[in-house]
Amino acid sequence: MRSRDTRQRAERALIRLATVLGHHANQIVVIGGLNADLLTDAPSAPHQGTVDVDLLVQVGFTYERDEFDLGWIERGLRDAGFEPFPGDQTWRWFVMIDDVLVKVELLCDTPDNRGQQIVLPGCTVATAMNLAGPSAAAAGITRQLIADGVDAEPVSMQFATLGGYVLAKAAAVVGRGFDKDFYDLAFVLLHNRDGGPAPAGEAAFAALPDPAFTDHAGDLRAALGLFPDPDAAAPQVYARQRIRDGEDAPAGLLAQDAVGAAIECLQAFDRCVNADGARE
C-alpha cells in the first residue's frame, strides 16, 4: 500500500539503481508516483506517496530496434539487487528495502505491439511494457538525487516535467482508471509549483510530443471529463484519499476543488489549442 514511508523506500531503491547505472541513468525517465513531490509544493497534508518506480525506456521503432543495446538496464537492475517478477512479467522487477517490496516497472511507448512486452535489445530477460501515453514524458528534466552514505556522490536522473506528467497520467486515467490515477492527477493539478490548474494545462499543451503515438489531447480531455461534478467517482476518490492523508477540509469541498481544477486545466489547454491549433 502506498504511503509516505514506502515512498522513502522507493526513492532509496531508485537511488541504488541510478548509482549502479552511472551515466546510463540519464537515458531513462522517471514517470511515476515519485514525481508528485518534485512537481508540487507540499500542502497541509502531503501526497499519499508511492511504492513503485516507473521508468520510461526509449526503444525506438521496430526497424531500428536491433541497432540498440539496452543490456545495461538488465545488468544495472541485477547489480543493484533487483530480481524479475516470477513468471513472464519481466518488465517488472523488485527489491526489498527494509522489508518493503519496491517494484520497478519498465515502460515504453511505441506504435507497434500495444499492450505487449517489448524485448529490450541486449537483454536476456528484461522487457518493457508498451503502453499508450508515457511518451509525453520523454523530454524529462534532470534532477539530482542524494545517494545513501556519508561520502556518496549525488546521482542524476531525468524526471517527467509537469506537462509530460499531466499528459502521461491522463493517459493512465483513460487506459486503466485506477483510484491512484484519479488522485495523482487531481493532486498535481491543484498543488503544482507552477501555480495550479491553469499553468498545468498550459504545460500539458507545451509537452505534446511530435510525432505523437497517442491522442494525448483526447486523453487529457477524457480524463478531465471524469471530474464533471463533486458527486462523480473521480473527485470522490480524490477527496477520500486527501482525508486519509490528513487533510481536515470537508470531503465535499475537496471534491469540488478537484472538479474546479479539471475545468480550469482544460480551459487553459483549450486556449493554447485555439491560439496554435497545429500543435494538437
Higher local confidence (pLDDT), 65 or 92:
92
pLDDT of residue 63: 46
Give the integer Cα–Cα distance in Å for 42 and 7.
Answer: 14
pLDDT-based confidence at residue 145 (cuts at 50, 70, 90): confident
- For 5-39, the pLDDT digits (tens) are 999 999 999 999 999 999 999 899 999 889 999 99
pLDDT-based confidence at residue 280 (cuts at 50, 70, 90): low
Q: Where are the domains of the chain?
A: 4-159, 162-279
Coil, strand, or helix at residue 143?
A: strand
Comparing CA positions, the residue from 94, 96, 65 lying closest to residue 77 is 94
Give the integer Cα–Cα distance in Å for 220 and 187.
Answer: 15
Helix (H) or strand (E) holding 197: helix 197-206
pLDDT of residue 149: 53
> Rounded to 5 degrees, what angle do the CA atoms 18, 58, 203 make?
90
Please check whether residue 97 is in contact with residue 12, taking contact to mean a CB–CB distance below 8 angstroms. yes
Comparing CA positions, the residue from 130, 109, 131, 106 lying closest to residue 118 is 130
pLDDT of residue 183: 97
Coil, strand, or helix at residue 129?
A: strand
- For 108-144, the pLDDT digits (tens) are 998 888 889 998 989 999 999 999 899 999 888 988 8
Crossing angle for the helix pair 233-245 and 251-275, to the nearest 10 degrees: 120
pLDDT-based confidence at residue 1 (cuts at 50, 70, 90): confident
pLDDT of residue 154: 79
- E strands present in 43-180: 52-57, 83-84, 92-97, 100-108, 117-119, 127-130, 141-145, 155-159
Give the integer Cα–Cα distance in Å for 9 and 108.
Answer: 24
pLDDT of residue 112: 82
Task: Read off the pTM.
Answer: 0.92
Average pLDDT over residues 249-276: 96
Q: How many angstroms separate the Cα of 84 from the Cα of each of 23, 46, 102?
A: 23, 31, 12
β-strand pairing of 100-108 with 92-97: antiparallel
- For 31-79, the pLDDT digits (tens) are 988 999 999 997 788 999 999 999 999 886 654 656 778 999 999 999 9
Give the integer Cα–Cα distance in Å for 278 and 214.
Answer: 16
Please check whether residue 220 is in contact with residue 170, taking contact to mean a CB–CB distance below 8 angstroms. yes
